[in-house]
Amino acid sequence: ALLVDRAGTVLTPDLRAELQGSLLN
């Protein structure tokens, strides 16, 4: 989760939301 969060800071909010959504699903 930490790695995803750190990568999310570089990505746009939309891409970050999609990544988090894919992990949750």
Confidence of residue 15 (pLDDT cuts 50, 70, 90): confident
Write down the pTM of the prediction.
Answer: 0.37
φ/ψ of 15, rounded to 5, equals: -65, -40
Confidence of residue 12 (pLDDT cuts 50, 70, 90): confident
Question: In angstroms, rounded to a whole number, what is the distance separating the alpha carbons of residues 25 and 10?
Answer: 22
CA atoms 7, 13, 19, 24: torsion sign: positive
Confidence of residue 2 (pLDDT cuts 50, 70, 90): low
Mean pLDDT for 1-25 is 73
Query: Are the CB atoms for 21 and 8 separated by under 8 Å?
Result: no
**Mean confidence (pLDDT) of the chain:** 73
- Is the pLDDT at 18 greater than 80? The verdict is yes
